[in-house]
Structure 1
Amino acid sequence: MQGETTVLDRSDIQGFVLRGYRMPHAAYLFYRFTDVPAARAWLAGMADPVTTAEEWDAAPSWCANVALAHPGLEALGLPTESLESFPADFREGMAARAAEHLGDVGDDLPDNWEPEPPFATRGVHAMLMLSAHDEGELDQRVQAFRERAGAGLEEVGCEGAAALGGAHAEREHFSFRDGISQPVLRGSGLEKDAPPGRPPVKPGEFLLGHPDEQDAVCQLHPAILGHNGTYAVYRKLSQDVPAFRRFLHEQGRGDPGLLAAKLMGRWPSGAPLARADRADDPVLASCAKHNNAFDYADDRLGYRCPRGAHVRRAHPRNGLPSERRHLLIRRGLPYGPELGDGAPDDGADRGLVGVFLNASIERQYEFVQREWINAPRFDDLENDPDPISGPGGGNFTWQGRPPRRLKGLPRFVTVRGGEYFFVPSITALRFLGDTSAP
């Protein structure tokens, strides 16, 4: 298969896998199946309303996508051979793998997760994701799909998310532009969007049934079940904005914005320190391709972008072939009210609803979280976990002449819940919805 170019059937792939909708409002509905025929009928009925990756003649006002957890596939009565063809990471789920495979500690562990949805006890069978340009439109669609679910599904949780307002419309609660760097799949028709020097990856890194970077093909049983599907990691992350701002002002030595950029590895606009280390560069940030056309080859010591900065840990850009085996497609939106600049702590819960796509949860999401985000050792650093989304308590080394070492960083981000989901193709949705199938 070396050298072959796969043209992906975008009409069979759920849309959010290949394209970010950029819709400012979203709702995530979680279900438990209570009646197998009704659940299968619901899946069959979802094949048409689910948004695919096909090109749009006119942008839709809303989108819908669906995913299934392993307990949901068990509840549907799939044969043992099919259930066991899924990898161990997906079968076991996030809660069981949090400590060992994700490196979660303390408040991030399942014992401290929110009770609803019941992720810690694996009480979620399916996730319905709805996106819309208008909040009123989203509310209508949520109600319509709740009625569609009928008596065979029990809603066990619902999470709302929305882009922040005004000048922060594309930013998360720490005021940084989010979702900038995304892999492009070969054969997706979107290759033109790949930044210079960062070629598209083979589709098998994200889609089952296609060759990956090592020309291996991951299949499920039967093949129709997995082809054009992927895995979605759902993770709700609470952000302690007041603590983050206090830390910046206490440790920023009169320039909290520079400290924030050093912790993140980008400026609030999204401009990378690797290309703009002295001041923010909104012009560079506005060019999607060139804003991601960089690596750290000429900054190995970390004088421009600290070696432990968040974006450098999450995507080291070391040029090694192995790096392309740990890429993630990231979707999601903030949840909770925005805390205005200079506003006092209002005690509200706010954060990010993250959805991370990959063909191998263990090799991609779990590896990044365990080895790059939570690990205290990284790139010759000894006790420096990720300063933004790591577990806190460690240090942050700001390389320079002289270097600075900030010790005992607070925890800024805490896991509130999560699960591993299978995102079936449209063909697989119809297969799963066939009430005559075993």
Structure 2
Amino acid sequence: MHEELGALEKNRTWELIKLPEGKRAVGCKWVFTVKQNPDGQVKRYKARLVAKGYSQTYGIDYDETFAPVAKMSTIRTLISLAVNGGWKLHQLDVKNAFLHGDLVEEVYMEIPLGFGTDQTVGKVCRLKKSLYGLKQSPRAWFDRFRKAMIGMGYQQINADHTVFFRRSESHITMLTVYVNDMIITGDDEKEIAQLKVRLGKEFEVKDLGLLRYFLGIEIARGAEGIVLSQRKYALDLLKETGMLGCKPVTTPIDQKFKLGAEAGEPVDRDRYHRLVGRLIYLRHTRPDISFAVSVVSRYMHDPRNGHMDAVYQILRYLKSVPGKGLIFRKNGHVSIEGYCDSELASCADDRRSTSGYCIFIGGNLVWWKSKKQSVVARSTAEAEYRAMALGVAELLWLKSMLVELKLDQGAKMKLWCDNKSAISLANNPV
């Protein structure tokens, strides 16, 4: 706690003043967390001072709050580009990231509990910089980081605002940021080293070396390429649910499943939400469970016994293959191709179809989705055509990213579909 408070005072996060008339101060609290290594061992203990932002009032204490974070498809795309280019992947962590954002609003906070003295009686902290818990903290931090990157000569791409790049002659350096975690890659090692130095001067940065563990995802580099997996995350989930000793199954969902809204008696909604939420995060490296998870997530509002049984089947499937993940190989190109399909009237409740697609960049899988369509399709061709439209939208987004990075090789994108009627519709300009 003293270390955290010292960092806040060193950063000049606040000044002590008397609370002006007509103003109110938000409270604060201490939050304690444990940082772990991929093997589960304790890395360090952290104490963090958090403002009670839930008591802030919109329009008085804050205005805009949105701040972008890197999409997982963007991170996988950069990894595929790095593998095909033979580039290294570096990882940086910004200490106390939210404390670097400059506040434009007038925000007052109470003295942290346990640190009041005779000199602080009747005073409050007027915040000059953002603090964890404040509604506007993510936006203030990202705005400060964006200005710093642009000041270093980097450009921000429109396809994903969390990606910055810099070109010098034939070399390129790219950076993407997820709150306070950064990934840097490119073929200009000299520029990468200089970027680390400049970021260290601007913020308090910790160089974590080559990318090995990011947002709960394990990254392993081998002779064949880079492997992404969430083995520890899957095993922790099985242990938490008491399913480590369960009998494994070979599929995450029955091929001829019939799951509807009225599937038995109601179950504990909080438990269902927690399990499905954990499975949704596991999809970042597990496209094999994507369809099954999308099915069980449809019943979050009113979970029943049948829905919980479907969740347990996914867990039993994970028991059979906990370490399965994605492999990124060097294929020597960055061409884009996608595959799409649909299942007609798969939802028993409203007869809507399900679209599915997956997209490859440089021969590596970077994006996939299984989603119920927004309207009822009246034919297989219509359902397949809607799935094609979703796939094309993602293809165009990824293409625009490569064009902005000046890495597009000019090759035509390919979209594969197995329905002749939908292909004929797509080829007909009328």
Q: TM-score, normalised by structure 2?
A: 0.24
In our comparison, the structure showing a higher alpha carbon Rg is: 2
Higher strand proportion (structure 1 or 2)? 2
Q: TM-score, normalised by structure 1?
A: 0.24
